[in-house]
């Protein structure tokens, strides 16, 4: 009745307890479960931000997804799993069926065309598996990083759990400090967003001892932001998650609110959705006094790789993702530097084969000290510009970052349009004269890089925030 796979067993008495607490008032002090250990837990607190009907609905889907996801991971570990998935995609997805109709045998990976985001937009529901028609699905939308046309991504319970929740469960399984804190009905994860239409709600996490994932939104009003900071200061938070730019924004709000005896102290921070630069990691680790790890994921492909606990790159999800690198010669390989191609056997709703992510990275096979063995992303550029064309020569972004390091910059953004370089920067607390700093940066880039056209200007912190729902790109170029 309850999923017992992957070492996670959710006690039946907790389900009884949850159901009882749904039926009775929250003033109930004790539930007779016949199990003294669980009696000691007291009544199971219910989140006040989510209606009980919605909560039960979400719990039912999460349980179905949890069980299905773990069963699917076990199936995908078998030798013929990729072959089976390709056959499934070729037979149930109209786009693939048409593309491969001249093929007489079972298709392999090289038979499938490269798939781009534009293909997903153009083909629409022809990319969806016909097996979805009778499934209960929800939809997610991805607008990409550059406000391109959004794509509707349907999900069943299994892909929802695997895409959105499994990453947290994975960290709680591997980090004893997190697992020891998880209590039914207590906060397990706080995910902070700044999407305009993000709805704040909570749901139970079956893979994390029925603790709660609390979704919270920043930027609604100063009062709401203050309330969130005070909540985070008083509530133990095993995992705090969000985009780096959003968590940085959270820290800025935290700094504006007078300190009290408690501070925001998550056990770990998990970031995703944007590149995590070294200085941002250092800043977040210093402010929140905890380790920061990142995940590589996307709305289309779900969780692709998680950062090594020893911080030695991002280890690619074994079995649930088949990752290749598309080199400049147009050949896909398991290792190398180039655009990442994802085939996602875990996605039975929108099976993606040879999907061009638009993200650039270096992938190698490693045997890591953390125990992982397999593909590891050692450099993840994502959609950031890796090199600029300036003054007739190529300058790597990391070289630009090195030149800017001595300046009193809290944050900065380098964008190139045509031959002109635009640098927006936020002064840090040590900056005395912003105009002099701008002039010094412009002079240095001219002498060191031959950048003759620069527009360097100090901006306010809010001027640097990415648009709502957009990703932060530190380095970008329209011509690279």
- Which residues, 334 to 353, sit near Zn ion by CB under 5 A? none
Question: From residue 216 to residue 245, what is the string marking binding to Zn ion with x (rule CB under 5 A)?
Answer: ------------------------------
Residues near 110 by beta carbon (within 8 Å), at least 6 away in sequence: none
Handedness of CA 271, 274, 277, 279 (dihedral sign): negative
How many C-beta neighbours within 10 Å does residue 407 have? 17
Quick one: which segment of 272-280, 311-319, 425-433, 470-478 binds Zn ion (CB under 5 A)?
A: 311-319
Nearer to Zn ion, 374 or 408 (CB): 374
Nearer to Zn ion, 238 or 313 (CB): 313
Could you say whether residue 249 binds Zn ion (CB under 5 A)? no
The single-letter DSSP state of residue 262 is: -
Which phi and psi (to 5°) does residue 110 adopt?
-70, -15
Rounded least distance, CB 315 to Zn ion, Å: 6
Rounded least distance, CB 366 to Zn ion, Å: 8
Quick one: which segment of 63-71, 144-152, 275-283, 362-370 binds Zn ion (CB under 5 A)?
A: 362-370
Nearer to Zn ion, 100 or 380 (CB): 380
Could you say whether residue 364 binds Zn ion (CB under 5 A)? no
Single out the residue of 14, 30, 3, 86 nearest to residue 352, CA to CA: 86
Could you say whether residue 85 binds Zn ion (CB under 5 A)? no
Could you say whether residue 365 binds Zn ion (CB under 5 A)? no
Nearer to Zn ion, 213 or 308 (CB): 308
Rounded least distance, CB 368 to Zn ion, Å: 3
Could you say whether residue 60 binds Zn ion (CB under 5 A)? no
Rounded least distance, CB 276 to Zn ion, Å: 16
Nearer to Zn ion, 112 or 372 (CB): 372
SS3 63: helix
Instruction: Give the C-alpha separation, 137 to 428, whole Å.
Output: 47
Instruction: Give the C-alpha separation, 186 to 248, whole Å.
Output: 25
Residue of 13, 224, 368, 403 that binds Zn ion (CB under 5 A): 368
Handedness of CA 287, 292, 296, 299 (dihedral sign): negative
Residues near 168 by beta carbon (within 8 Å), at least 6 away in sequence: 188, 189, 205, 207, 208, 213, 239, 241, 270
Instruction: Give the C-alpha separation, 159 to 302, whole Å.
Output: 8
Nearer to Zn ion, 217 or 315 (CB): 315
Could you say whether residue 370 binds Zn ion (CB under 5 A)? yes
Nearer to Zn ion, 152 or 170 (CB): 170
**Encoded tokens for 375:** 């593909």
Rounded least distance, CB 374 to Zn ion, Å: 10
Residue of 59, 250, 308, 454 that binds Zn ion (CB under 5 A): 308
How many C-beta neighbours within 10 Å does residue 382 have? 20
Quick one: which segment of 149-157, 305-313, 336-344, 461-469 binds Zn ion (CB under 5 A)?
A: 305-313
Could you say whether residue 372 binds Zn ion (CB under 5 A)? yes
Nearer to Zn ion, 190 or 308 (CB): 308
Could you say whether residue 96 binds Zn ion (CB under 5 A)? no
Tracing tokens 């038979």 back to the chain, one arrives at 111
Rounded least distance, CB 309 to Zn ion, Å: 6
Nearer to Zn ion, 312 or 457 (CB): 312
Rounded least distance, CB 270 to Zn ion, Å: 16
Can you spell out the DSSP letters for 155-215?
E-HHHHIIIIIHHHHHHHHH-HHHHTT--TTSEEEEEEE--TTPPP-EEEEGGGTTEEEEE
Instruction: Give the C-alpha separation, 285 to 141, whole Å.
Output: 31
Nearer to Zn ion, 156 or 307 (CB): 307
**Encoded tokens for 376:** 């590891």
Size of the site for Zn ion (CB under 5 A): 5
The single-letter DSSP state of residue 149 is: -
Rounded least distance, CB 310 to Zn ion, Å: 5
List residues near Zn ion by CB under 5 A. 308, 312, 368, 370, 372
């Amino acid at each position: 009745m309850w999923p017992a796979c992957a070492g996670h067993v959710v006690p039946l008495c907790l389900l009884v307890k949850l159901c009882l607490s749904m039926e009775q008032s929250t003033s109930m002090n004790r539930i007779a479960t016949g199990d003294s250990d669980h009696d000691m837990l007291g009544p199971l607190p219910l989140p006040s931000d989510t209606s009980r009907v919605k909560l039960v609905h979400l719990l039912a889907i999460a349980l179905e997804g949890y069980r299905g996801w773990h069963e699917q991971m076990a199936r995908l570990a078998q030798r013929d799993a990729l072959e089976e998935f390709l056959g499934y995609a070729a037979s149930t997805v109209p786009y693939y069926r048409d593309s491969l109709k001249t093929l007489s045998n079972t298709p392999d990976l090289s038979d499938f065309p490269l798939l781009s985001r534009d293909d997903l937009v153009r083909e629409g529901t022809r990319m969806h598996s016909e097996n979805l028609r009778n499934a209960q699905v929800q939809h997610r939308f991805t607008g990409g990083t550059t406000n391109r046309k959004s794509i509707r991504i349907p999900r069943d319970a299994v892909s929802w759990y695997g895409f959105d929740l499994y990453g947290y469960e994975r960290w709680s399984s591997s980090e004893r400090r997190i697992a020891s804190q998880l209590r039914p009905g207590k906060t397990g994860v706080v995910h902070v967003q700044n999407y305009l239409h993000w709805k704040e709600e909570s749901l139970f996490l079956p893979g994390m001892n029925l603790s709660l994932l609390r979704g919270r939104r920043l930027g609604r009003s100063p009062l709401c932001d203050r309330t969130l900071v005070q909540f985070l200061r008083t509530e133990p938070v095993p995992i705090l998650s969000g985009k780096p730019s959003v968590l940085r924004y959270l820290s800025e709000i935290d700094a504006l609110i007078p300190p009290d005896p408690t501070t925001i102290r998550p056990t770990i921070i998990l970031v995703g959705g944007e590149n995590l630069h070294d200085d941002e990691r250092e800043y977040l680790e210093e402010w929140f006094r905890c380790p920061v790890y990142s995940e590589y994921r996307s709305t289309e492909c779900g969780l692709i790789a998680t950062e090594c606990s020893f911080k030695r790159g991002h280890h690619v999800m074994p079995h649930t993702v088949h990752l290749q690198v598309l080199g400049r010669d147009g050949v896909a390989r398991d290792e190398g530097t180039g655009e990442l191609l994802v085939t996602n056997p875990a996605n039975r709703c929108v099976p993606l084969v040879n999907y061009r992510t638009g993200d650039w990275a270096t992938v190698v096979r490693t045997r890591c000290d953390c125990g992982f063995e397999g593909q590891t992303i050692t450099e993840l550029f994502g959609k950031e510009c890796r090199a600029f064309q300036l003054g007739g020569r190529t300058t790597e972004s990391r070289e630009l970052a090195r030149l800017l390091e001595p300046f009193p910059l809290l944050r900065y953004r380098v964008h190139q349009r045509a031959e002109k370089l635009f640098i927006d920067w936020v002064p840090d607390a040590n900056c005395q004269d912003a105009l002099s700093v701008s002039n010094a940066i412009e002079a240095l880039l001219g002498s060191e890089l031959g950048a003759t056209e620069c527009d360097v200007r100090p901006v306010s912190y809010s001027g640097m925030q990415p648009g709502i729902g957009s990703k932060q790109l530190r380095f970008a170029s329209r011509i690279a």
